[in-house]
Amino acid sequence: MEVGGDLDSKIESLLNVEKQMRLAGDVAGTKKAVTDILQLCFEARAWKTLNDQIVLLSKRRGQLKQAVTAMVQQAMQYIDETPDIESKIELIKTLNNVSAGKIYVEIERARLIKRLAKIKEEQGQIAEAADLMQEIAVRLCLDRQDYVRAQILSRKISPRVFNADTSKEKKNLKKAPADIPSLLELKRIYYELMIRYYSHSNDYLEICRCYKAIYEIPSVKEEPAKWIPVLRKICWYLVLSPHDPMQSSLLNSTLEDKNLSEIPHFRLLLKQLVTMEVIQWTALWNTFKDEFENEKNMLGGPLGDKAAEDLRQRVIEHNILVVSKYYSKITLKRIAELLCLSVQEAEKHLSEMVVSKALVAKIDRPMGIVCFQAAKDSNDILNSWAMNLEKLLDLVEKSCHQIHKETMVHKAALKGVLCCVLRTY
């Protein structure tokens, strides 16, 4: 059905109403006006006019976000009613252009791109479909090893969304398409993708936090067959993570987990890291080598090519920290003996820890002596000066008091002598 004068006049009338509502800041009135315009075009099957009006309404000065959202959502319902594939593609492209760069219709845009990519795929335009999906899909970026774009896209998702109330989620899902997974399933998919991303840079602590988030999903925590492999990964990546406050906090919280009693080997592994004792690398590796190799058969696969090397590095770092707690000064030769390393290796690892600020130490290379010092920030230094000044003032006050006391004693004694002399005369 072609556009007629009657349709033009009705649209013009509604455009005037929309302008009045928009300028007055009436959200409900503006939303109704824009959706009524789209409904008129749809009922008249005027697809070109529909596209033109969508673009026109979205570009009107000071257009309300709620009106744009309502317009995009309503127009999406017309996609399946288009008479041919060309009209369908044109409408999807129009809606895609309108929603581009608008975070409040980001979900709608993602669904539009997915539909357009599916059409391109059915038409045999695989490369074009892949390029479209790559704009919104972290997984495809990871598959293509485009880690920079994967990181940019991942930041569009706020992890706090996954902590929403599930009762509210059910209400929202009624409006969502049937093929959209539940919020908890989306949470699992998101963190599995982030594990793949962080594995690229061997960011063990972030990988551990991702597994921790998966571990907290109710469907995972209810079944030992699901949570045991996840908890194993949490333990391994905690051990592989460099020592810092976040790693220490996660380590202690994991040790308090009652489920850890089901895998006592890993409780022992974590316990060794929080105990201020030197760990013998050979004994540790012989104990856990089979468990380490067995991870390739568990959820998430092997720990990575560098994992065994990094595990040894973490053990050495732990041992150096232990030595620094017990010694203020120690020879490099003795450190090497304690760590079962050569002097050159011990110096190398010690220097790396000092450079990374994990440890404060000074090496006297001619003498072969290491001096450990406690790290001090500006507040510690100022507090130390304040305490020293306080002690100094306290000493001055005590000295003045003693001088005054001695003066009074001598005055009293002198006065007594004078009195005796006067009595004599």
Please report the pLDDT score of residue 205 as a whole number.
92
Instruction: Domain of residue 310: give its range.
Output: 224-324
pLDDT of residue 2: 42
Q: Is residue 171 part of a domain?
A: no
Q: Do residues 275 and 242 touch, judged by C-beta distance below 8 A? A: no
Are 123 and 13 in the same domain? yes
List C-alpha distances in Å: 245 to 53, 275, 349.
56, 16, 20
Same domain, 304 and 334: no
pLDDT score recorded for residue 7: 84
Structure tokens at 335: 């450190």
Residues 305, 354, single domain; the answer is no
Per-residue pLDDT of the chain (425 residues; tens, 9 = 90+): 344 568 888 888 999 998 899 898 888 999 999 999 999 999 888 899 999 999 999 888 888 889 899 999 999 999 888 888 888 889 988 998 888 877 777 778 778 888 888 888 788 887 776 667 655 555 656 666 666 666 666 666 667 767 655 454 444 444 555 555 677 887 888 888 889 888 888 899 999 999 999 999 988 988 888 999 999 999 999 999 988 888 889 999 999 989 998 998 899 999 998 888 889 888 999 999 988 888 888 888 888 778 889 999 999 999 999 998 888 888 989 988 888 888 888 889 888 888 888 888 888 888 888 888 766 667 877 888 888 888 888 899 888 888 888 888 777 776 665 666 556 65
What letter would DSSP give residue 136?
T
- Whether residues 253 and 340 share a domain: the answer is no
> Is 264 within a domain?
yes
Say whether both 335 and 298 belong to one domain.
no
| HEC string for 13-76 | HHHHHHHHHHHHCCHHHHHHHHHHHHHHHHHCCCHHHHHHHHHHHHHCCCCCHHHHHHHHHHHH
**Domains of the chain: total:** 3
Beta bridge partners of 42: none
pLDDT of residue 134: 59
Predicted confidence at residue 139, as pLDDT, reads 64
Last residue in a domain, options 108, 136, 164: 136
Contact predicate 14/56, CB 8 Å: no
Read off the DSSP letter of residue 266: H
User: Per the domain annotation, does 176 fall within a domain?
Assistant: no
Pairing of strands 361-364, 329-331: unpaired
Cβ atoms of residues 70 and 34 within 8 Å: yes
Contact 270, 251 (CB under 8 A): yes
90: domain CATH number is 1.25.40
CB 67 within 8 A of CB 27: yes
Same domain, 130 and 23: yes
Q: Is 186 exposed, middle or buried (0-12, 13-18, 19+ CB in 10 A)?
A: middle
Q: CA 195 to CA 173: how far, in whole Å?
A: 26
Pick from 329, 322, 324: which is nearest to 371 by CA? 329
User: HEC states along 172-230?
Assistant: HHCCCCCCCCCHHHHHHHHHHHHHHHHHHCCCHHHHHHHHHHHHCCHHHHCCHHHHHHH
Say yes or no: 315 and 365 in one domain.
no
Rg (CA), the chain: 36
257 plus 367 within the same structural domain: no
The reported pLDDT for the residue numbered 356 is 83
Residues 26 and 110 reside in one and the same domain: yes
What is the distance between the alpha carbons of residues 404 and 49, in angstroms, rounded to a whole number? 102
Integer Cα distance of 231 and 291 in angstroms: 13
H/E run at residue 88 = helix 85-99
| pLDDT value for 3 | 45
Same domain, 1 and 105: yes
Residue 204 has what pLDDT?
Answer: 92
Query: Is residue 238 situated within a structural domain?
Result: yes
- Burial, 126: exposed, middle or buried (Cβ in 10 Å; 0-12, 13-18, 19+)? exposed
Q: What is the DSSP letter of 234?
A: H
238 and 295 both lie in a single domain: yes
